[in-house]
Structure 1
Amino acid sequence: MVRIMAVHRYRLRELEALRALITAGTTVGAAQRLGISQSAVSRALTQLESRVGRALFERASGRIEPTEHALRLNDRLDPLFATLADIEGTDWSARAEEPLRLIIPPTLAHHFIIPKVAKFIQAAPNRRVQLDIQATDVLVSGILDGRYDLGLTSGMIQRSGVTLIPWRKSKVVCAMPENHPLARNDVIVPADLQGADIVGFLGRLGTRTLMDQILGLAGVQYNLLAETATNMAALELVREGLGVTFINPFPLVSRHMTGIVVRPFKAPIEYRTSFVVPTGKPPTDLARQFMRFVRLSTPKDPYSEPA
């Protein structure tokens, strides 16, 4: 019995070495995380590579880079180490001085993510999170220069150096005051907006460009009464009776909003709400845990689905 337990524990140390090296990027850093010698880390990884029958790390430009197989194996270990953390009452990989540096745009933060952050910390009180709330352009630059570990955005980002990990997808909707004539329609089509008063978005935003193209192709002439940069501001102007707007329904209209009616809009616009990580650098263990927690704790709603 003693021998069997020792063999299983030995294999666990190999898996711990894998995760530690992927997170730290060096055998020295991995050894410090695990409290063992650098040679012990190298030995554990050599034995693990022998077990799986393929290389898990490659040296490139003086750095140790995980192979695709190593990253896939590490992803599959998340449930194992989450369970071990629950059993031990601690998070094996997150030191007190290494918080999750999280950046979220205002709409997602205030209308969805902040309660998730609270529950994430409450589930393991030794976790620390640094939450910054900024616009998507600040989010991207912060991820690129290493000031943040993880971001979330619904923005249409096309920028080298950052990788989007899809989380939710949703289709554009039309929002209007509850007494608006178009509220009688089950679905809004571009032709319905001929002569309508519209609350739009600033020209630098991707949604505005797509909407101009769609309405232009349909030959629709409309009255642009106001332009804004956020979904929340657009909805508040609509609530005041200023006109109709087109928005990503997740997460703002996942629940009832007083004074506003939402209808599907027949247009080929799909939004992706995604996690944002730096390209070529594996997410930290705390970032992986947070992404998994958010995915598992997101309730169903009529306007979005898993991406």
Structure 2
Amino acid sequence: MAEHRHRLREMEALRALVTTGTTIGAARRLGVSQSSISRALGQLEQRVGRSLFLRSSGKIEPTAAALRLNEQLDPLFETLALIEGAEWAAADEEPLRLIVPPTLAHNFVIKQVAAFLKQNPGKSLQLDIQATDVLVSGILDLRYDLGLTSAMIQRSGVTLVPWRRSQVVCAMPTGHPLEQKEIITPSDLEDVELIEFLRRLGTRAITEQVFARAGVRPRTVAETATNMAALELVREGLGVTLLNPFPVLAGGMADITVRPFDAPITYNTSFVLPTGRQPSELAQQFMEYVKVTTPPDEYSETV
């Protein structure tokens, strides 16, 4: 009997690590030490006779065998949840823990949340508004059930489910000389005042590559972290900016002219989920609601 308990702990450790993507997250989920997680996984690997995780430069990635084994464990843990009344058995009765960056929250998600809850009386939702790096860490640590972002994330342990696609545009103050052009090219921005995004954001590196290939050097007059801040600086006449138009420009913006920018920069607005973890019924309902109720606009399309 004791041997079966040891095997169950090993399976719990496997499941927690596949779900969270880190030994720290797995330890927090199970309420044990990191060394306990490592020991249980070592015992499991010895038992099955193969490596289940690849370890390199402080990172840990599940192998295909680990993912298959974790999938086979679903019925076991679902049964245990029913028998023991475990916390995750009642997950659909709990609030949906949603995290969204500021631009998406204030220009799109808050209205969606309100409409969804009105349509689904008895359901509840916790909305947190944070930067994308906080969103990613929160999803990894299972502090949130679902995220939405337009950021270009490349991070193990989180799964992106794209649902909206848009192309980069050039936004300028009304009356700007470039307003006469139908399409803005990189060469049009030579020595033009430009509002950039901070270097820690993925879109900055992409636009710099575009300018470098074209041999163009705009004049960076300001750097910021959000689309709304960039657009407000544009509206103040400080310069032009290149950005994702969805959702902030979906309804237009006074005193700002928008033109397509001739560069292969595509944005995917995506749902963010922890890898290997089945979203709750409430999360699935909210995702589907957002998909079917998002109004059409001239800047984005359904993925």
Q: Does 1:65 align with 2:63?
A: no
Change (3 A) 1:287 1:187: same
Give 1:73's aligned residue. Answer: none
SS of residue in 2 equivalent to 1:215:
helix
Contact 1:101 1:148 (C-alpha < 8 Å) held by counterparts: yes
* 2:222 aligned partner: 226
Query: 2:92 aligns to what?
Result: 94
Structure 2 counterparts to residues 1-307 of structure 1, below 5 A:
60=69, 64-65=73-74, 94-95=92-93, 98-307=94-303
**TM-score using structure 1 length:** 0.70
SS in 2 for 1:250: coil
How far is 1:221 from its partner? 1.8
Tell me how far 1:62 sits from its aligned partner: 11
Instruction: Give 1:158 deviation, angstroms.
Output: 0.3
For 2:204 and 2:302, the matched residues in 1 are separated by 25
Q: CA deviation digits over 1:5-39, x for unaligned, max 9?
A: xxxxxxxxxxxxxxxxxxxx9xxxxxxxxxxxxxx
Aligned to 1:216, the other structure's residue is in SS state helix
Partner of 1:7: none
User: What is the identity, as a one-letter code, of the residue corresponding to 1:138?
Assistant: V
In structure 2, the partner of 1:19 is none
| Cross-structure match for 2:4 | none
- Mind listing any 5+ residue stretches in structure 1 that lack a counterpart? 1-24, 26-57, 67-91
1:209-240 per-position Cα deviation (integer Å, ceiling 9, x unaligned): 01111011111122100000101000000000
Structure 2 counterpart of 1:272, which letter?
N
Could you say what secondary structure the match of 1:94 adopts? helix
CA-based RMSD: 2.1
Q: Distance in 2 between matches of 1:288 and 1:280?
A: 15
Quick one: which amino acid aligns to residue 202 of structure 2? Answer: G
Q: Residue 91 of structure 2 contacts residue 280 of structure 2 at CA under 8 Å; is this kept in 1? A: no
Shift of 1:94: 3.4
Contact 1:94 1:127 in 2 (8 A): no
Superposition deviation, residue 271 in structure 1: 0.2
- Name the % identity: 60
TM-score, scaled to structure 2: 0.71
Give the Cα separation in 2 of the matches to 1:188 and 1:116: 33
Paired residues, number:
225
Contact 1:151 1:277 in 2 (8 A): yes
